[in-house]
Amino acid sequence: MVRLSLGNLLRNKLVQNTGYLSVIEIFRLLMPFIALPYIIKTVGVTHYGSIVFAQAIISYFQIFINWGLDVSAVKDVSVARNDRKELDKIVSIVLSIKSIHLLLSAFLLFASSFFIPYVHENIWLLLCCFLLCFTDVLFPIWFYQGIEKMKYLALIRFISIFFYTISIFIFIRQADDYIYVPLLQSLGSILSGIVSMFLLLRVEKIRLHRVRKVEIVQTFKDSTPFFISRVSVVLNNSIAKIISGIFLTMDMVAAFDLAQKITSIALVPIQMVNQAVYPHIARTLNKVFARKMLMINIFASLLIAIAVFILAPYAIYYFSKGEVEEAVVLTRILCIWVFFGGIVVYLGSPVLVSFGHPQPFNNSILAGTFVLLCSYLLLYILGGLGNIYYFAYALCLSEFVMFSYRFFYCIKYELFSIKK
């Protein structure tokens, strides 16, 4: 009876954290979708594409600031959750590294405006997007994920995105106001970061203190493999939009971004379940539980992919009123990415990293990126960069390679048990 009671409590906690994570991500993705039709109608598809292009560039600064800590720190916090002094040290080290990287990124962006014409001509747009980087320091979702307390962040994120969504309708009135779209998004996120940092210090009683250089260096080294994999993830997600902006038009950037947004939000429930079970699997190393979750991920990914394929035309029309028709075909092609993506996420941190195999996790992303870059190189040689649909197929191929790589090593290391 005691085992059953504990099991029920555990399952309830997983359900609660999954729910809180889902609320965070759904509001993060869904509420901007509410304003998206208005944004596209008011500023135009081309200006919207310019915003997406600038955000794609800034995403590399964000990944540099995080340096893989959003993966490694979750496990560190989960293991040390009952050791107050160790938690204080982990948080202090993580925030120190992120703060240093934020300053370096700001300097690099400012300096590049003197040498790169695009940066010089669009410096204010890029700065408005860059403000979002402050949230990567202030918003410690990795900490709350590690201690499995997500309810605070769910409320904070809701307030932040509600502020952004409402302010869009208030301040965006004409095409020239497009620069304020990323500014409002950044201000809302910074607000959420400040509140969450206050809760970290006041409610969770975390005490920040100076840390030794050797501790920073060691954490930096431990997180580097995850940083490399994160760079690959951002590259995989943004390269199509960057190449579209260089070789095609900002309208095509907008079309690909819209297709990616729809397919990404479709995967939110699976991603949130995986984030919620990650600390549990890392702590218990339960192979039977891991196998059951794999079956759930496969089934859920298939259902979601089919639903997105069917609903794609209706979703695209709602958001763009027919102004980016290319997004319908792009979304349907990316349904392949949706199916494999749901499984890939689960086989990564929740399984391979939890069971002590981070190398295949990182190598799989590098392999996917290598295939993606080779695909674009082949398209360039064959003159296929003028067809944006090929970009979507290349992304699907990359995701399939990552799935195959991770699944192979999960089987090799016998991470899924059928024994009860």
Per-residue pLDDT tens, the chain, 420 aa: give them.
334 444 454 455 555 555 565 566 566 666 666 788 888 888 888 888 888 888 888 988 988 898 888 777 877 787 777 777 888 888 888 888 899 999 999 999 999 988 888 888 889 999 999 998 998 888 888 888 777 676 667 777 777 778 888 888 899 888 888 899 999 988 888 888 888 888 888 877 888 888 888 888 888 887 887 787 677 777 777 888 888 877 878 888 888 888 988 898 888 888 877 877 877 787 788 888 888 888 989 999 999 999 999 999 988 888 777 677 788 999 999 999 999 998 998 898 888 888 888 888 878 888 988 999 899 899 888 888 888 899 899 999 999 999 999 999 989 888 886 665
Under a CB-based contact definition with an 8 Å cutoff, are residues 135 and 192 in contact? yes
pLDDT at 22: 59
Structural domain contains residue 3 = no
Structural domain contains residue 193 = yes
Question: Of 172, 214, 221, 247, which Cα lies nearest the Cα of 72?
Answer: 221
CA angle 7, 79, 99 (to 5 degrees): 130
CA angle 138, 270, 8 (to 5 degrees): 90
Burial of 222 (0-12, 13-18, 19+ CB in 10 A): middle
pLDDT at 126: 92
Burial of 115 (0-12, 13-18, 19+ CB in 10 A): exposed
pLDDT at 29: 60
Under a CB-based contact definition with an 8 Å cutoff, are residues 153 and 22 in contact? no
pLDDT at 289: 86
> What sign does the dihedral 39-45-50-52 (CA atoms) show?
positive
Q: How far is it, in rounded angstroms, from Cα 14 to Cα 279?
A: 10
Residue type, 111: A
Structural domain contains residue 4 = no
Structural domain contains residue 124 = yes
pLDDT at 20: 60
What domain range includes position 398? 9-412
pLDDT at 106: 93
pLDDT at 10: 44
Under a CB-based contact definition with an 8 Å cutoff, are residues 66 and 228 in contact? no
**Token pair 């304020």 is at which residue?**
180
Q: How far is it, in rounded angstroms, from Cα 56 to Cα 293?
A: 32
Q: How many CA atoms lie within 13 A of 13 on its CB side?
A: 15
Crossing angle for the helix pair 388-412 and 335-346, nearest 10 degrees? 30
Q: How far is it, in rounded angstroms, from Cα 260 to Cα 237?
A: 8
> Which three-class secondary structure string do you get for 6-39?
HHHHHHHHHHHHHHHHHHHHHHHHHHHHHHHHHH
Residue type, 110: F
Q: How far is it, in rounded angstroms, from Cα 350 to Cα 416?
A: 12
Structural domain contains residue 82 = yes
173: phi then psi, degrees, rounded to nearest 5: -120, -25
Q: How far is it, in rounded angstroms, from Cα 315 to Cα 266?
A: 12
In this structure, the number of other CB atoms found within 10 A of the CB of residue 390 comes to 18
The predicted-structure confidence for 120-174, as pLDDT tens digits, reads as follows 888 999 999 999 899 888 888 888 877 767 666 777 777 777 888 888 889 988 8
Under a CB-based contact definition with an 8 Å cutoff, are residues 300 and 269 in contact? yes
Structural domain contains residue 397 = yes
Question: Of 88, 110, 97, 186, which Cα lies nearest the Cα of 137?
Answer: 97
Q: How far is it, in rounded angstroms, from Cα 113 to Cα 176?
A: 22
| Two structure tokens written together for 278 | 């990650």
If you ran DSSP here, which 8-state letter would residue 44 be given? -
| Two structure tokens written together for 398 | 């990359």
pLDDT at 310: 94
pLDDT at 77: 82
Is this model's pTM higher than 0.75 or not?
no
Tally the domains of the chain.
Answer: 1
Residue type, 340: F
pLDDT at 192: 83
pLDDT at 4: 40
Question: What are the percentages of helix, strand and coil residues in the chain, rounded to 5?
Answer: 85, 0, 15
